[in-house]
A and B are shown apart, each in its own frame.
Chain A
Amino acid sequence: AQKVTQAQTEISVVEKEDVTLDCVYETRDTTYYLFWYKQPPSGELVFLIRRNSFDEQNEISGRYSWNFQKSTSSFNFTITASQVVDSAVYFCALSGTNTGNQFYFGTGTSLTVIP
């Protein structure tokens, strides 16, 4: 079964705080891909990052960083020094090579950054 769990439904932080969004996945595929998307209040989903199952190297992009750990089936997303513009719903997604190119999305985490 393919499944993505985002246990945090809503998170509120004060501006400049760091925040980590959790993502746990289930898959039987040996090759798979993980994604994070941002959906701001305007509504359009924006692709943030793709990670391949064979590359566990963590990635940093400005204030964003991602921690991929196959041992715990997790792909967590950290925003450092959060800003009001980071307020959005964040979705984690999974795509496996043996599932007909289907994408499986978590239920999303709503992040509010309070000025």
Chain B
Amino acid sequence: GAGVSQSPSNKVTEKGKDVELRCDPISGHTALYWYRQSLGQGLEFLIYFQGNSAPDKSGLPSDRFSAERTGGSVSTLTIQRTQQEDSAVYLCASTLFAGERREQFFGPGTRLTVL
């Protein structure tokens, strides 16, 4: 597609349930990032994938959070045993590192509400 897409756009779940959030990056982009944005706050880095390298998981807040990227394209962020503090907008971004070009292109986000 032309841009980064994310699904679902909204997700409401009950505390303790697992959720999966999906990101389809821009075709050809080698890098993919996940961020979390709480209401009125900035972007909190979660995890970063670059090509076939091991992902940078340094931003994951707990072991309940995990992510994978299959075939160097689509990525899934999984939150197990969701808590109310997980409620936020989860943003995905992809980047093509080519020379000086390294800007991130963001998807519309998934708004997660944990009841």
Contacts and interface: CB of A to CB of B under 8 A. Distances in A.
The interface residues of chain A, by DSSP majority, are classed as strand
Contacts, number: 49
Interface in A70-89: none
Contacts of B105: 47
A85 B102 CA distance: 27
Interface string B19-34: 0000000000001010
Interface residues of B, number: 24
A112 interface: no
Quick one: which of A101, A105, A108 has the most chain B CB within 10 A? A101
B83 interface: no
A43 B109 contact: yes
Given A50-B100, A101-B102, A108-B42, A43 B56 contact: no
Nearest to A4: B42
A79 B79 CA distance: 40
Interface string A30-55: 00010101000001111100101000
Interface of B: 31, 33, 41-43, 45, 48, 50, 56, 89, 91, 93, 95, 97, 100-109
Interface of A: 33, 35, 37, 43-47, 50, 52, 91, 93, 95, 100-103, 105-108
